[in-house]
Amino acid sequence: MKVNLMHGAGGEVMGELLSVITKFENNNAGGIGLESLDDGAVIPVGDQKIVFTTDSHVVHPIFFPGGDIGRIAVSGTVNDLAMMGGRPIALSCAMVIQEGFDVADLERIVASMDAALGEVGASIVTGDTKVLERGSLDGIVINTAGIGVANHVVRDSGLLPGDVIISSGTLGDHGLAIMAHREGFDLGEQIRSDVAPLWGMVEKALAAGDIHAMKDPTRGGFANAINEMASKAGVHVEIDEEALPIRTSVRSAAAMLGIDPLEVANEGKTIMGVAADDAEAVLRALRSHKYGKDAAIIGRVTEGSGVVMKTKIGGERFIEAPIGDPVPRVC
């Protein structure tokens, strides 16, 4: 087998690569480790639960409607911590920069990262920089790792029969914004990336009710995230198509490009499994935050397996994990 771009796009094909590069016998520091393939690891230190995660970012183009590679680098790591209930505290930043990269663009990226950090009260506390010769990579690659503290750890495998599925907002925004921008479509402000650091919103939701599972639908989109959650928990999920929050502009662009908006990355959303009795309280908490104003209850969890969508015309269709994200280099 040779590595190809699809191996990095999320979905089923990426699983083939992960099965090779996660064969570490030393994979757990006493809590939740690499074997779980969750959004991060949990390391118990005394009475504290430390959440730890890392991510590399190769988005193209580096500036796009609604964000840039710097905002994604901070938000992606903050959100992985938040999905496990971790309050973000400190991040590292490693940059690999191509010779000839514009310093003004680098300053813009750093300022964007700092603004995102400020939204959640986290800091970049250490880092590394490498410069490679011209032509060795496409501009800049950024790696961020982060640590946080969790009072209550949430897993992506925690769905229970009877739970309600909530999306914190509209789906498909980031992937379609990137794709439309790449294709040169002049859509003005109609489609913008949703990239955002979500801890403030997640913190409100955690305080409002019993959240059994969370996952941010990045590479592979909602379809990949909800299938991972259902498969890990060994449950069946029913999604209501009419309840799915998808912007009209995103639906139109997706149809024009031949892309399913449920299969493209989001960078500022979470999918939650919530105890039914707490669903309305959690929904109100999400909607009270600027990044959760479009939150919606979109489905429920039952006994069984697989993910099925109840369609607008009264039928059913399976939502399957995509083979790979149709928009490469999206984060």
What pLDDT, on the 0 to 100 scale, is given for residue 189?
A: 65
- In b/e form, how buried is each residue of 203-237, taking b as 16+ CB within 10 angstroms? bbbbebbbbbbbbbbbbbbbbbbbbbbbbbbebbb
Residue 270 confidence class, pLDDT cut points 50, 70, 90: very high
Let me know if residue 327 belongs to a domain.
no
Q: Average the pLDDT over 266-277 and give the result.
A: 98
**Look-up: residue for tokens 């400020």?**
118
- In b/e form, how buried is each residue of 22-38, taking b as 16+ CB within 10 angstroms? eeeeeeeeebbbbebeb
What pLDDT, on the 0 to 100 scale, is given for residue 17?
A: 65
Please state, for a pLDDT cut of 90, what percent of the chain lies above it.
Answer: 75
Half-sphere exposure of 111 (CA within 13 A, CB side): 6
Could you tell me which of 25, 27, 7 has the C-alpha nearest to residue 16? 7
Residue 112 confidence class, pLDDT cut points 50, 70, 90: very high
What pLDDT, on the 0 to 100 scale, is given for residue 327?
A: 75
What pLDDT, on the 0 to 100 scale, is given for residue 323?
A: 78
Let me know if residue 120 belongs to a domain.
yes
CATH number at residue 232: 3.90.650.10
pLDDT in tens, 298-316: 999 999 999 999 998 888 9
Let me know if residue 157 belongs to a domain.
no
301 and 279 Cβ atoms separated by less than 8 Å:
no
Same domain for 116 and 67, yes or no, is yes
Same domain for 139 and 175, yes or no, is no
C-alpha torsion sign, points 46, 214, 77, 296:
negative
Let me know if residue 155 belongs to a domain.
no
Same domain for 59 and 178, yes or no, is no
87 and 109 Cβ atoms separated by less than 8 Å:
no
Let me know if residue 331 belongs to a domain.
no
Residue 197 confidence class, pLDDT cut points 50, 70, 90: very high
CATH number at residue 136: 3.30.1330.10
Same domain for 87 and 190, yes or no, is no
User: 149, 173, 201 — which closes off a domain?
Assistant: 149
Q: Average the pLDDT over 247-253 and give the result.
A: 91
Same domain for 20 and 124, yes or no, is yes
φ and ψ of 214, to 5 deg: -145, 150
Could you tell me which of 167, 189, 162, 198 has the C-alpha nearest to residue 262? 167
Residue 184 has pLDDT above 80, yes or no: no
Same domain for 227 and 313, yes or no, is yes
User: 115, 149, 183 — which closes off a domain?
Assistant: 149
Let me know if residue 325 belongs to a domain.
no
Let me know if residue 209 belongs to a domain.
yes
Q: Is 272 helix (H, G, I), strand (E, B) or coil?
A: strand
* Cα gap 79→40, rounded to integer Å: 10
Label each residue of 295-331 as H, E or C: CEEEEEEECCCCEEEECCCCCEEECCCCCCCCCCCCC
Same domain for 122 and 176, yes or no, is no
Question: How many domains does the chain fold into?
Answer: 2
Please state, for a pLDDT cut of 70, what percent of the chain lies above it.
Answer: 93
Half-sphere exposure of 46 (CA within 13 A, CB side): 2
Residue 328 confidence class, pLDDT cut points 50, 70, 90: confident
Q: Average the pLDDT over 230-241 and give the result.
A: 97
Q: Which of 29-38, 151-160, 252-261 has the highest mean pLDDT?
A: 151-160
Full residue range of the structural domain in which residue 48 is found: 5-149
Q: Is 232 helix (H, G, I), strand (E, B) or coil?
A: helix
Count of other CB atoms within 10 angstroms of residue 258: 7
Count of other CB atoms within 10 angstroms of residue 98: 16
Let me know if residue 328 belongs to a domain.
no
Residue 160 confidence class, pLDDT cut points 50, 70, 90: very high
What pLDDT, on the 0 to 100 scale, is given for residue 187?
A: 62
More confident residue, 76 or 39: 76
Residue 27 confidence class, pLDDT cut points 50, 70, 90: confident
Residue 15 confidence class, pLDDT cut points 50, 70, 90: low
Same domain for 145 and 177, yes or no, is no
Same domain for 27 and 50, yes or no, is yes
* Cα gap 69→50, rounded to integer Å: 26
Same domain for 168 and 143, yes or no, is no
The encoded tokens of residue 111 equal: 């300022």
* Cα gap 328→314, rounded to integer Å: 34
What pLDDT, on the 0 to 100 scale, is given for residue 129?
A: 97
pLDDT in tens, 94-103: 999 999 999 9
Same domain for 168 and 309, yes or no, is yes
Count of other CB atoms within 10 angstroms of residue 76: 26
Same domain for 70 and 120, yes or no, is yes
